[in-house]
Amino acid sequence: MNFSNESGNINFNIFFMGSEGILNMTKISFEDLIKKVNEYIIDFKELELISNAFSYASKLHEGQKRQSGEDYIVHPVTAAFIFAETKVKTEKLCAALLHDTIEDTNITKEKIEILISML
């Protein structure tokens, strides 16, 4: 799978904080998330749900930027990646990808529920 925005592949920086400050900085892409998820989820329909949630969240957050200047989708993908490290179920990964759409876009909770039921 190749996910990209207008400028090409979407890459993210993840910072792990500890008592001594930044412990590790890793560039991560949606492909990295899928690789991590593939370590424990092999069902195609579940992987498709995750991909669809990412695509939908990306469209809803399109044009939004974080204070750092990075695309807003950085935050939900980072959350999903951290969840994937703990091997959570598909529903939680989708929730991580979509969690800011209600408060930061014009989508309603009801529309998200309809979307999820259709995925």
CB 24 within 8 A of CB 16: yes
Helix or strand holding residue 21 (H, E): strand 21-29
User: Nearest 5°: phi and psi at 77?
Assistant: -70, -40
| Confidence category of residue 26, pLDDT binned at 50, 70, 90 | low
Distance from chain centroid for Cα 61: 11
What is the domain count for the chain? 1
Q: Could you list the residue range(s) of the whole structural domain that residue 32 is in? A: 4-118
Which pLDDT tens digit goes with each residue over 45-94? 999 999 999 999 999 999 988 888 888 888 899 899 999 999 999 999 99
Q: What pLDDT score does 19 carry?
A: 45
DSSP 106: S
Scan for tokens 């492909």, then name that residue: 31
Question: In 10 A of CB 115, how many CB atoms?
Answer: 16
CATH for 12: 1.10.3210.10
Which residues are tagged catalytic? 103-104
